[in-house]
Amino acid sequence: MRTVPITVHWRQENRTIRLDVPEGEYILRSFEQQGEPLPFSCRNGCCTACAVRVIAGEIDQREALGLSREIRSKGYGLLCVARATGPLEVETQDEDEVYELQFGRHFGRGKVRPGIPLDDE
């Protein structure tokens, strides 16, 4: 099976990990199998614990429900559901940082009180 080089700059650990991942395999799973576990939580592409920003290359992450198309188009991805399709270089992100990008516009408007609309309607 053909493999592709994947480089992960793990900011929180101040490490860079380079591994060859079989083409079409989930990156997170392959790193784990090769003894280099990376941050994750749900393994389903629904949270932002394994979020990365793509520095070079592209990823197939059609299963990434936890990131909007807008966020993905800005170069963010989720390694748990990202498949290796070619050489890739990524940098881990802070979970809260990506969560804020994804959901911040919906939260932080203050306390929700019964009978009071959230929007200026």
Tens digits of residue pLDDT in 44-56: 877 888 889 999 9
CATH number of the structural domain spanning residue 58: 3.10.20.30
Within-domain flag for 86: yes
Q: What pTM was estimated for this model as a whole?
A: 0.79
Within-domain flag for 35: yes
Within-domain flag for 54: yes
Percent of the chain with pLDDT over 90: 45
* Cα–Cα nearest to 8, from 99, 81, 93: 93
Within-domain flag for 111: no
Within-domain flag for 17: yes
How large is the average pLDDT for residues 103-115?
A: 57
**Domain range enclosing 37:** 3-103
Tens digits of residue pLDDT in 45-91: 778 888 899 999 988 888 877 788 888 888 889 999 999 899 999 99
* Cα–Cα nearest to 11, from 70, 98, 81, 71: 98
Within-domain flag for 46: yes
Within-domain flag for 14: yes
How large is the average pLDDT for residues 97-107?
A: 70
What's the domain count of the chain?
1
